[in-house]
Amino acid sequence: MKSDQQPQQRPDRRALLRLALGLGAAATVHLIAADPAATPLRPGGAPPAGGGAAGPPAQAGARPSAYRLQPMTDRTPPRFRRAAPPVRTRPLEELPDLGRSMVLSFDDGPDPRYTPGILATLRKHRVRAMFFVCGEMAVDNQDLLHEMADDGHVVANHSWSHPLIPGLSRAGIRDELGRTSDIVEKTLGEAPLWYRAPYGAWNRNSFEIGAALGMEPLAWTVDTLDWTAPGTGTIVRRVLDGAAPGVVVLSHDAGGDRSQSVAALRRYLPELLADGYRITVPHRM
């Protein structure tokens, strides 16, 4: 598992190396495939690109799309059970194999420059993903939170300002996670049930506080390292090379120029589907 840092955005924080993670603890987690029901595309074509949480809320002139996405399915996605004791000591890194299933996850958003482009591609292929949002981005882009939820994606917690969690007091961690859960709940009517530590830097306090807020910790298996802007082809290759049952893929929809991430998704998603993978989101029974 690689780094989630983004040096080009907030270099005082993003230059820090992420702490290494151990293997994820096993959990009773299931996967659901996106409903194949037909989904009408938005009139006028795909929305403009958008992204981010580790970056400034929105550049001058960048406007989030005003339309409201139609639900991807005609039924409500399964509800998640809130985290319960015992408190985890390691995050989940992958999810149990239920056939050829994978999870796509996007960190740091929402950003009106890149997030809409990612949502459009996911809608086109009728699949769901997980979005780990930062509160400081979510508060200024609540319409994008609605679009995520309306399409059946999982909106999860990635802290408020993307700090290095082990450097914070318990009160600081509670503020970072709690404020983000609050804005998600205020916007969508439900608090997030999953969270991811910035840089993948977890500690005991974060596990305990996350559990107290009813959230499970989810890391990743395949890191695209898209924050380094390695080129669209490189991102595509990393995803396809790392594809395997139960894999969780880490990408970003904010925190810098994420145009390569948007373009890469358009290429690797249809290839994964053609190869027989189900792109899923987790839910607990």
Q: Indicate which residues carry an active-site annotation.
A: 107, 252
| CA angle, 149 then 60 then 143, to 5° | 15
Distance of CA 137 to the CA centre of its chain: 13
Task: Determine the Cα–Cα distance for residues 155 and 145; give it in Å rounded to an integer.
Answer: 7
| SS3 sequence of 170-224 | HHHHHHHHHHHHHHHHHHHCCCCCEECCHHHCCCHHHHHHHHHCCCEEECCCEEC
Instruction: Round to whole Å and give the CA distance between 285 and 283.
Output: 7
Q: Residue type for 248, please?
A: V
Contacts of 138 (CB under 8 A, 6+ apart): 53, 110, 145, 180, 183, 184, 187
Q: Whole-angstrom Cα distance, residue 173 to residue 207?
A: 10
Query: Rounded to whole angstroms, how far apart are CA atoms 161 and 177?
Result: 10
Which residue do the tokens 């989940």 mark?
92
Quick one: tokens of 252? 């970003």
Q: Other CB atoms closer than 10 Å to residue 150's CB: what's the count? A: 16
> Rg of the Cα trace of the chain?
17
Q: Residue 141 and residue 123: Cα distance in Å, rounded?
A: 19
